[in-house]
Amino acid sequence: MRFLYDIGIRFYWLVAMLVSPWNRKAKLWLRGRRHWQVKLKGALDRDEKVIWFHCASLGEFEQGRPVIEGVRERLPDRKILLTFFSPSGYEKRKDYSGVDYVMYLPLDTRKNALKFLDLLSIEMAFFIKYEFWYHFLKQLKSKGIPVYLASGNFRSGQLFFRWYGHWYRRFLDLFTHIFVQNKNSAYLLDGIGCYHVSVTGDTRFDRVHVLKQSKFKHPALEGFGKDSPIIVAGSTWEKDEQLLAHVYRELSDQVYWIIAPHELSEGHMRSLQERFPGSLRYTELEGEVAEGCRVILVDTIGKLSYLYRYGSLAYIGGGFGKGIHNILEAATYGLPVIFGPEYSKFLEALELTSLGGAFPIGSETELLFTVRQQLENPKLLKTSSQITANFVSKRVGATSLILDKVCIKSKTNLL
């Protein structure tokens, strides 16, 4: 089976090479891995103790970020290495100041894994959520380096739990300990004889809790909307924006808007300004927002998670495509969340919907009805807000549970 795994890894590389002339992500994926040994030698000294974090992409990074920052706070003298598999993670976080070096994970071959570990003095490693790379895990274990899976999330359909998944179950045995988000994951692992598991929760709740505590303010937005409700629409796509425009027209004199589209190209921003007449771009904000302006279009990245604090209600994009974006960034501020029909893969969306803090919709009519239902009934809005805020606050603490257990297990090396 390992032979087939190695063939699959090399086949992936070959496909990336073949499509790279026409595919930007494939080109970045290949280019970023060139001369990785030289780059790594120049970035980190062989004698320095390193703690390594690996994430597949941007979403996993946000999942692991509280753990990274917790390690930095507890062990400030250690160097921290962050690797990504995907360009979408690396390109957006290559300048992240919370670590000492960011790079692409080399291709998972035995040769690369041996060389990678030979170049560094790794004290411990964290793989985030879904990452299982056989050769890197195998060599970490063979060298006696503790390696942890943080915020693991398992589903019954994964290879580990299939009748033919025996070889893949070996990957799990290579971890020193597995920290999972929920009891269902622990139950699945227990069923296949994987017992080095702890249920610690989802570290994303820690991340959004920190965002809420930040002192972010934008002077121009402090008086925006005055005493009127504000809907913050985050990570919206074309279909989302069509529905939002309908509600905007129907409630034009009743609601203010902050809209952060997924696509930030100049062409798309212009089309949004046409769709929402009188709107103003975030980067153009100066002083007070003009009285006639009811829509702020966020044309920069990194602000949305802070801007939810100005809202009364949130709409989360992506639900008419592959799946909704992050709802926790809005929920932490106590905003009831609305989203499209593709949310079944997101446990927090399912749970919040059942509790009455989230509201899936499938059409512009349903969206308008839900918005009106919330905004025209202050008591209902207050109840929904309390549900979402409590949903997050009760789940904070996964990072401390992970770090406490890791430090206890490794205190000979760490403390």
Distance CA 154, CA 161 (A): 9
Distance CA 307, CA 271 (A): 22
Structure token digits, residue 397:
């603490």
Residue 408: per-residue pLDDT: 39
Residue 383: per-residue pLDDT: 98
Distance CA 196, CA 255 (A): 51
pLDDT grade, residue 215 (50/70/90)?
Answer: confident
Which CA distances in Å does 4 have to 163, 169, 287, 372?
Answer: 18, 16, 62, 56
Residue 288: per-residue pLDDT: 82
Provide mean pLDDT across the span 35-60: 93
Provide mean pLDDT across the span 240-266: 95
Distance CA 132, CA 5 (A): 12
Is the pLDDT at 106 greater than 80? The verdict is yes
Q: Which of 46-50, 152-156, 257-261 has the highest mean pLDDT?
A: 257-261
Is the pLDDT at 227 greater than 90? The verdict is no
Is the pLDDT at 411 greater than 70? The verdict is no
Going by DSSP bridges, is the β-strand pair 147-152/177-180 parallel, antiparallel, or unpaired? parallel
Which tens digits make up the pLDDT trace of 334-366? Answer: 999 999 999 998 989 999 999 999 999 999 999
Structure token digits, residue 399:
């990072």
Residue 312: per-residue pLDDT: 97
Provide mean pLDDT across the span 42-71: 93
pTM of the model: 0.86
Q: Which domains does the chain have, with CATH numbers?
A: 32-201+397-414 (3.40.50.11720), 217-393 (3.40.50.2000)
Is the pLDDT at 412 greater than 70? The verdict is no
Mean pLDDT of all residues belonging to the chain = 93
What's the N-to-C CA distance of the chain in angstroms? Answer: 40
Across 14-120, where does the E strand assignment appear? 49-55, 79-84, 101-104
Provide mean pLDDT across the span 275-289: 90
Provide mean pLDDT across the span 382-399: 97
Is the CB of residue 143 less than 8 Å from the CB of residue 117?
yes
Which tens digits make up the pLDDT trace of 1-17? Answer: 888 888 999 998 899 98
